Structure formats: C-alpha cells, structure tokens
Structure 1
C-alpha cells in the first residue's frame, strides 16, 4: 500500500499507479510524493507544465506504431510495446543485446526519472565492432522504453527512434556511453495526437575523440518534451544536434538540451528551427556549460522560428555559462513571421498563396536537414515535413 500526500492531484495519483514495481519506479514514486510532477513553477518547466498536462490522468493508449520507412528496411527493428520488447531482423556481429532491471538514476528528478520509472526492464546494447546495420527503435502507443547503449573504442552505431501514438503516455530514456573515437548517430521522429503525452530523455557521455550526432523532427502532441543531456568528458569530443518542429492546432512540443564541456578542445554545434500556427506552442531551451578546465572549447547554438498565425506561441531560452577563458562560444535566437517580400515574389509568379507559404516554410525549417550526408534519410525527414505542410498550410 502506497501512502499518498494529500496535495497530489488526480493525474499525479494516476502516474503513481502507472510506475513499474522496480527500484527506478520506487525512486520516481518517492520523488512525486515529495515534490509532485514538474509545473510552471519549476524553472526548467515554466513553459511546459507536466502536472497540468496530466490533470485528467494518464490517457488510454491508441493509434499505431507505424511502418518502418523504406530507408530503414535493412535495420534491426526493436518494438517496444506495453508488454515488453521484441526483435525483428538480423543483427551484425559485434552487437550484444541484453536485458536488465530498470535501476534509478542518481540525484535525478523530472522526465528522465519518470522514463526510468515507467520501464520495467532496460534494453542494453553493447557495440564491440563497427556496425553496418542501423537499429530502429519503434515505440508503440503507451509503451515505455529504456535503452542503454555502450559503444567501445572506435565503433559506430546508427540509432533511429519513432513515437507516433494518437493517445496515451509514452516515455523513453536513452543512455549512451561513447568510448574513445566512437560515433553514435541518432535520428528521431515524434508525432502524437491531442490525447498523447510524450516524454523522452537522452543522456550521452562523449569520450575523447568521440562523436554524437542527433537529428530530430517533432510535430508535437497534447504534451511532448524531448530532452538531451550531453557531457563531453574527453579531449576532441564532438556533439552536433539538429532539431525541427512543426506545430498546429493545440499541440505542444518542447526541445530542451544541456551540453556540458568538461575537457579541452571539444566542439558543440546546435541548430533548431520551427514553425507554429493556430494555438500551438513551441518551446526551445538550450544551455551550453563550459567548465573551467574545458579550454579551447568551440560551441555554437542557434534557434530560429516562425509564428504563422496570431495565437501561436514560441518560447525560447538560449544560455551560455562559461568558466574557461580560451573559448569560442556564441548563440543566436530569432522569432518572426514569414518574409512578405518572398511571399509576394512567389505570388507574382502565379503560385497560390497557401502553396507559396508552404514552400517558404519548408525551405526555412528543412534547412536543419540539409547537412545530412545520407540522401535517403534527408528525403525521409523532408517528406515528413512536406506532408504536414500540405495538410496544414499548402
């Protein structure tokens, strides 16, 4: 029997019931009993009130996990359902797959603690040699996912994850450790209905000469928050994160990142772009922390967004916190409307207004994907954005 603080809301009680009976679940339960779910009173959640989003309880799951896109047909597919996870396809040599109990994270509260608490088991992927086959993580509606990835020195892995449920609470926690010279490339697609709660957190430790590259596209949900915490602990570490969001109706999407430079000669490049219309809300929070010993850090962070209609909301908070004196760091943030001159130019050439707007928004947002080296992956992201624009704008 769980003793519950009388101040907890009905939604928080429902979350307590949904947590797994594991050490991680008990840790998350203790955190909620002590502090409740994050609200706008918490600085990190001031534009993303999780308690309010869950005030009516945990939505019943519905929808489909979707098909595996053509560009990932050769991938090893791992399906995460409310009952557990299963594998489909062959795996490369040098990939060890194990399962272990979901353990609590140390001194952590928030989305990552919840994601750990919802998952009864953690899937462990150990990479001991170069991988030619991507791993496709497919989350079914309402399914928890916890994955721990360990890349040994000079190895590589491409990881793809999707969350497409119409309703329900889906959570994901990805923990990755990159040894010397390892490379992890991650692609992520999120799209949820107006009864979907989507919580994801990625924690990455980047060793000497290692590379982490992540690209994501979010269409939001009733509440969607994607967090990244990256720690560069070895000289020559590289972190590159690209993110895009397209939001309409009453959808909500929050892209939050914190990059910590702990070693000298490390590099971060972040680019986020978005477009929001109707009563939707887009949130960007990005912090780059350069510790005292991380001399010769090169860190760049940019966020640019379009407000397409009155009533749309975009909140942005870019931050630099620097304690080293030999660094090159910069950040930029712009929020505006469509270029009227560019729109007039297209209209003058016979392009209907809605189509012209869609073309301009597509060119603006999909710049995030322009530097992807794989043409089929770039086309996949661009096609997702184009389909959304045709249904909402064009």
Structure 2
C-alpha cells in the first residue's frame, strides 16, 4: 500500500486525505495546530464542490450547518441603508471551521490518521520515496507528499522556493473574528465602507445567535508576516477606525478576542503544481483570494481530482500532470475574477452597482464554463508510486 503524507488539516488537506483513504492509500495528515482550526470566516460552496460533498456523503451535514444568510445590505456611516440584495440561493455558506470538522470526521471514518501539533521541517526526495523531517516526530519515509498547508505553505517553500516568487499581493488586508449578536440581526449581513479604502461587515451565524465580523482595508505595502495579535489589532484599528457605523463597537469587541484571522489578500501562481514526488493543492498551489468567492470550492474540487487521478493514473507523475491540466483553466478564471472583485470592495455603494455585482456573482457561480466536469473515479486500487 502506498503511503502518502498530507501537510495541512484544513479544507483542501482534509478533503484530499479523505479521498486518498477511500481509494486505499495509507494516508497521514500532519497539522501544525494542536487541534482543528476554530474561528475564521463564512465560506461559499458552489457548483462542482457540492457534487464533491455529495459523493463524500457530507452534503446533508453541510446543509445542516448552512448559515442561512438571506440578505446583504450596505449602509452609510450613519447606518442608513444604501443597498440591499438577496443572497444567491444556489450557493451554500458555512463557517470554515465547521466545514473542516465535517471533513475531518469523514476522514477519520475512512481511515485517515491525523497528527496534530507538528510540522514538516525538511523534504528530501529520492527516486523511490520522500524522506520527511518533522519538528517533533522522527524522520519518516513516504511515497508521496501533498502540500495542502495554505497560502503560506511550508511544503511549497521547502520544495518549490520562497513564497515571494509565487505570491501576488492584491493591495489590501482582511481580518475576521467572532462576537455575540449584539445587533439582533436575523439571517442577514450588513456592511459599511468609506468608499476609499476601508470597510467593516457583520454576518449572522450559529442559528442567528452570533456574528462574524469582517474588517478590510487597503495597504500600500505588505506587513511583516509574524506580527503579534496585539500588533495586528492596532494595525486594523488604525485603518478602519474612521469608517463609521459600527466600526467603533466592532473594534472594542476585537480588543477582547484571542481568535483573530488576519492576512494579506494574496494570490498564488505557479507554473507547475508538482515537482517529483511532491504536489500542492488548494491555496498552497493556486489561491484565488477571498474576493473570488471560489477559494473553498476550488480547494474541494482540486482535492477530489488530485486523489482520483492518483487512484487511476499509471504513475504519480501522470496523476499530477492530469490534475493540473484538468484544473488549470478553472483556477485561472477564478483568479481573474478575484482580481476584478477588488474594485467592488471599496467603491462607493449604490443600488445599481450592488445589483450589477450580485448579477455577476450569480452568473459566475451558476454558469462557469471553465469548471471541470467531475468524473467518477471508480478505482479502489492505488497506483504503484515506486
């Protein structure tokens, strides 16, 4: 049985691991966090990604945790509604940590072994195996290594080169944190932008008993990556403090949280998603940025295709090549859409602009000719990777 290491226990890693285990691979996931991720933003699942969840047997569980947000409004700095639009019913929105939990539970049932609190430090490729060093565990041999460890992938850095070679900064930062539903909202989201370079938003989650807040702002240059959470909070406050509406109240609540997502809006672009016995999937290979609204879907679809190709192709090299060929146009389209959407984030809101953007999103979600047709991979016999 071929032994495969997946680095990263998030959306892409957990889905890849699940399908690999389903196809009979001995699959190990190493995740640097001490436990599954908590917190983070609501994410959308559309199109072929729903098919992947259905074939996994997880679609009902995802539907049960749907945030059920039905309406999105834009307000001015005084709270007056400027625009209001219904949400696209063809898309499922779920908190990212709840999606990861569902994937993890299905993966464990399929035989995936998770190792939390450790990370990869070295990757040495040989003709017939990969030798992997860990921060805590002993060095171990694997047939293949899959990097699904996000936009700041360590696997990519070790096997492909420094992040700066592949990252495209889109000129802004995004933060998310959770809080109580102090506004008493129901099945809705609200946002306010200064029309220049900063905005705040809130969305109902957890049966309308809680909110997740998004804080976004332009920044001419990227910050050092490893800021303390207090430094991150100060940087956020400096940029969104003058937006108005609920910005002051949100920043006050931000000051009390220890669970904060904060990162630059970035895309990852590589000529090849694999090298030798190492491949990348999800944000590590082709991050489209949150503005695309497709990052989660292309991670799920990519994971399904990568595992399926490994289960059916003659060699791992063929599988990796097929994986990129099948996904390449879809990924390029999503990345282009993500760059285009940046312009809508900070534009002064009008109902006409909001209607146009909603229509563009609906069309992109429901009629994307670049989305791959997902064949059923029937083989339960892993390829020989030696």
> Is TM-score (shorter-chain normalized) higher than 0.5?
no
Structure number with the higher helix fraction is 2
Structure with more contact order per residue of length (Cα contacts < 8 Å, sep ≥ 6): 2
Structure number with the higher strand fraction is 1
